[in-house]
Amino acid sequence: MRKEYLTLLKEEAARTAETFSNRTTEISNHANNNLNFEVEVIAPMSDETATVTFKKNDGIRALAFFYLLKYKNGPVWKYFFPTDSHICGMSDFARRKSIIEEANYTFRTMNEAKQ
């Protein structure tokens, strides 16, 4: 992962932890106002994706999927907390994408192309 992307990722992960810890934000956990989130692990998965493990002060961990979007004004990290349904869906997506990539980009010799 490029150093610029990693720096931005660290900043966004810290901002995300603060957002979920802040009692005044709409997405904070209002059911338990004593929860604080901290970034525990940032694990790059590719140049443009990463998982971030957040640890709450009650000992529970949460895993977020971060992905990079490249805008004209510069790259921006976005995230979501995948459910089991998201993970199953993305597993199938990876299988289907592989089939499409193979169909679109498999090298064929001139003789094979004529058939």
pLDDT means per 10 residues in the chain (115 residues)? Answer: 95 94 62 80 96 94 96 96 94 94 79 59
Distance CA 79, CA 93 (A): 18
Query: What integer pLDDT is reported at residue 32 of this predicted model?
Result: 55
Asked if 57 contacts 35 with a C-beta cutoff of 8 angstroms, the reply is: yes
Residue 108 confidence (pLDDT) = 67
Map tokens 């499409």 to a residue: 100
Chain center to CA of 7: 15
Tokens 């089939």 locate to 99
Pairing of strands 49-56, 61-71: antiparallel
